[in-house]
RNA sequence: CGGGGCGUGGCGCAGCUUGGUAGCGCGGGUGCUUUGGGAGCACUAGGUCGCAGGUUCGAAUCCUGUCGCCCCGACCA
């Protein structure tokens, strides 16, 4: 490609002010993307080459484990999503699916994911166990109406994703294929030249049994991951399970009420009354809104030094009730409290709060669903709210089980916690960017969409399904987050838009021009991804741009052309080779091989 | 959704307090010089000052409304 005739660069002198994190700034400044709207970007030619490189790596690895590529529609009829009972959840409330009506008033959604479509198609083409297993994937734009798009391609409303869906005759076959995909993913990320860590994860709105996320560790990541140094355990903080520290026992001779005016936080209460947070049980009230207008008030209890994990709580409630949980939020709005509750001393709620606090006229479920975390369930003596404004109460020999409490893990694991009783290894925390996620869906979708096959015994059975995602555009940005310096991007060679850029320093010099053309043609013939910066610009301008866009190798053609000598420079470590032009190709090939091998 | 900030040529910004009819740097174009690290000089093109009302003889500037963009966010029970 020639910069002047076929490959304009579009680099900027200044960084657009909208970008906060370095990878986003570099994508804009180096001319890879242009913002069209909040969370909506155009991929410029140079960006498309990166996307295509990543896609090719994905194709290679997935094809090697027998996956088949196809392309599914992005406009999905609501009916299909109503069958899987996800339409409401994805469109109402905090729903992330863009949706619209056609001229006949028929409802559609713009696909955020494709389980429904692929399952309905698979059910039509798969009839027998003899056709299984089967895995289809596509690489395509997804649409999500994010609450707050940010960080460029990291959280955008339109992004490119590889999504794959597998179909199996048994749970066992699904589990073993899931492992295979996990391994293929490791290869893909390694081949892309990025460092990732696989962690246990929550399966979220997609649903299903087991799921694993692949994270790029970076300080700008939006997720927190907890792991042990030895690698024995790694999980997303939403999912992580750990052992809380030992509580300090409360003296058993304390009882009764204490006045706690103006003491709003656990810390204040501890300070003023000489207590430890582990001796307090905090009670948090939530309202769970289910599909079909069912609203259930929740009383969630946890030890004072711990925090409630709303993802765990969400999942628990979703399991507890038969209809879909749409929204879970704390009860704190004055008007809502006024309308539905009576004698409700917010801030001083105790675990023994009476069901009578829910007004008879309220639309809510008439009794509190009571949940207690493991960290607090075995405390029998503790301080908690007295159900009276400005008062707390010492409870003695309180039994949660006898008060209809459901005992579950609804607690946030945190760094410093231990994993096992017999192991002193502590959890550490890092930020991560999720770039891949694999799920064992089980039969959730096949059941709802009636996707069956005839098994060996002639019986109709539901297909076992897995689903597997990779954020293609996110990989590109995460790679920059991991590979850059003051001058600009330092692409891993595997996903760089070009492997090498040729920079003639003076286009007025016919000797340079001739040598440049000769080298350029030779590289093209040898199928090397080469960009020729043939702009009639000063050398400095072209050097700066080459560094900014991050091509791993530069060939500088300058004064020594007369001696048929050029320079080969490695972008990352600035190594320079002065070399005769007839040895150049050979040298480039060996140097680039080293780089390919180092990264993969 | 709540809180904060910002909308002025392609990009980065000043001007607004104290109204008088828009400016700087970069980028673009032309010419000359320069030519291995974002060159110099000269000329030049390019702006509904986000949008809509209002106040005023006069609004980028003051008032009201509206739209858009960016950033931050619930240790609190």
Bases of chain B with protein Cβ within 7 A: 1, 10-13, 25-27, 34-39, 68-73, 75-77
Residues 312-331 of A with CB under 7 A from strand B: 330
List of A residues 73-92 with CB within 7 A of strand B: none
Strand, coil or helix: A534: coil
Q: Of chain A residues 567-596, which have a beta carbon within 7 Å of strand B?
A: 567
How does DSSP assign A264-327, residue by residue?
Answer: -SHHHHHHHHT--GGGBEEEEEEEEEETTS-EEEEEEEEETTS-B-HHHHHHHHHHHSSSPEEE
Note if the bond before A366 is cis, omega within 30 degrees. Answer: no
A344 touches strand B (CB under 7 A): no
Distances (CA, A) of A332 to A10, A235, A354: 50, 31, 18
pLDDT in tens, A88-133: 888 876 688 999 899 999 999 999 999 999 999 999 999 999 999 9
**Any strand B atom closer than 7 Å to A487 CB:** yes
pLDDT in tens, A146-204: 888 989 999 999 999 999 999 999 999 999 999 999 999 999 999 999 999 999 888 76
Closest CA to A182 of A395, A439, A505: A439
Spatial separation of the C-alpha atoms in residues A599 and A595, rounded to whole Å: 6
A77 vs A74: CA distance, rounded Å: 10
Q: Which nucleotide is nearest to A509 (CA to C1')?
A: B35
Q: Reduce the secondary structure of A7-56 to three states and give it as a string.
A: CCCCCCCCCCCCCCCHHHHHHHHCCCEEEEECCEEEECHHHHHHHHHHHH
The tokens for A236 are 């997303």
pLDDT tens-digit map of A365-414: 999 999 999 988 888 889 999 998 888 999 988 888 888 899 999 998 98
Please name each of the domains of chain A with its CATH number: 47-72+112-234+430-481 (3.30.930.10), 75-110 (no CATH), 256-408 (3.90.960.10), 498-599 (3.40.50.800)
Which nucleotide is the nearest neighbour of A281, by CA and C1'? B77
Whether the Cβ atoms of residue A236 and residue A311 lie closer than 8 Å to each other: no
Distance, Å, A477 CA → B46 C1': 34
Distance of C1' in B34 from CA in A506, Å: 12
- Would the Cβ of A346 be found within 7 angstroms of any atom in strand B? yes
Fill in the DSSP letter of residue A382: E
**Predicted pLDDT at A16:** 85
Taking the C-alpha atoms of residue A317 and residue A82, their distance in angstroms, rounded to an integer, is 21
For position A267, what pLDDT does the model report?
82
Q: Mean pLDDT score of chain A, rounded to an integer? A: 91
Residue A323: pLDDT band by 50, 70, 90 thresholds? confident
- Candidates A498, A522, A520; CA nearest to A571 is A498
pLDDT digits (tens, 9 = 90+) for A430-481: 889 999 999 999 999 999 999 999 999 999 999 999 999 999 999 999 999 9
* Cβ–Cβ under 8 Å, residues A29 and A548: yes
User: Burial level of A183, CB count in 10 A (0-12/13-18/19+)?
Assistant: exposed
């Amino acid at each position: 490609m020639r910069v002047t005739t076929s490959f304009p660069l579009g680099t900027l002198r200044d960084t657009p002010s909208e970008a906060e994190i370095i990878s986003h700034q570099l994508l804009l400044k180096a001319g890879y993307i242009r913002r069209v709207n909040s969370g909506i970007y155009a991929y410029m030619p140079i960006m498309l080459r990166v996307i295509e490189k990543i896609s090719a790596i994905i194709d290679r690895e997935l094809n090697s484990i027998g996956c088949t590529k196809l392309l599914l529609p992005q406009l999905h009829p609501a009916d299909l999503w109503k069958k899987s009972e996800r339409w409401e959840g994805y469109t109402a409330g905090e729903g992330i699916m863009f949706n619209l009506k056609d001229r006949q008033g028929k409802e559609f959604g713009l696909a955020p994911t494709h389980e429904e479509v692929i399952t309905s198609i698979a059910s039509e083409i798969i009839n027998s166990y003899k056709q299984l297993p089967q895995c289809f994937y596509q690489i395509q734009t997804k649409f999500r109406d994010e609450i707050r798009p940010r960080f460029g391609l990291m959280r955008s409303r339109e992004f490119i994703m590889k999504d794959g869906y597998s179909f199996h005759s048994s749970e066992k076959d699904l589990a073993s294929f899931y492992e295979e995909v996990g391994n293929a993913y490791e290869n893909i990320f390694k081949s892309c030249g990025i460092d990732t860590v696989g962690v246990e994860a929550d399966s979220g709105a997609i649903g299903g049994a087991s799921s694993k996320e692949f994270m790029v560790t970076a300080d700008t990541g939006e997720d927190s991951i907890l792991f042990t140094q030895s690698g024995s355990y790694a999980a997303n903080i939403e999912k992580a399970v750990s052992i809380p520290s030992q509580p300090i026992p409360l003296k058993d001779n304390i009882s009764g009420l204490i006045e706690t005016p103006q003491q709003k936080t656990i810390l204040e209460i501890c300070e003023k009354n000489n207590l430890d947070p582990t001796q307090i049980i905090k009670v948090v009230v939530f309202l769970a809104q289910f599909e079909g207008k069912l609203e259930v008030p929740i009383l969630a209890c946890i030890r004072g030094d711990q925090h409630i994990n709303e993802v765990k709580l969400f999942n628990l409630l979703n399991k507890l009730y038969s209809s879909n949980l749409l929204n879970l939020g704390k009860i704190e709005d004055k008007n809502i409290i006024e309308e539905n509750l009576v004698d409700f001393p917010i801030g001083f709620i105790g675990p023994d709060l009476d069901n009578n606090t829910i007004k008879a006229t309220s639309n809510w479920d008439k009794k509190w669903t009571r949940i207690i975390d493991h960290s607090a369930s075995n405390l029998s003596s503790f301080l908690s709210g007295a159900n009276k404004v400005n008062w707390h109460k010492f409870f003695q020999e309180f039994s949660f089980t006898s008060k209809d409490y459901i005992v579950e893990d609804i607690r946030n694991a945190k760094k410093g916690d231990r994993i096992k009783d017999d192991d002193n290894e502590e959890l550490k925390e890092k930020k991560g960017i999720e770039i891949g996620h694999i799920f064992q869906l089980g039969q959730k979708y096949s059941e709802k969409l009636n996707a069956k096959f005839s098994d060996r015994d002639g019986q109709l059975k539901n297909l076992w399904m897995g689903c597997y995602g990779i954020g293609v555009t996110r990989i590109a940005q995460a790679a920059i987050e991991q590979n850059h310096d003051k001058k600009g991007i330092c692409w891993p060679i595997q996903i760089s838009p070009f492997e090498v850029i040729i920079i003639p320093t003076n286009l007025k010099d016919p000797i340079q021009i001739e040598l440049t053309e000769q080298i350029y043609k030779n590289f093209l013939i040898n199928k090397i991804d080469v960009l020729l910066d043939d702009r009639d610009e000063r050398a400095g301008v072209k050097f700066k741009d080459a560094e900014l866009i991050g091509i791993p190798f530069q060939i500088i053609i300058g004064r020594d052309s007369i001696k048929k000598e050029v320079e080969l420079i490695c972008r990352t470590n600035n190594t320079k080779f002065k070399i005769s032009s007839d040895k150049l190709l050979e040298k480039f090939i060996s140097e680039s091989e080293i780089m390919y091998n180092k990264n993969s």
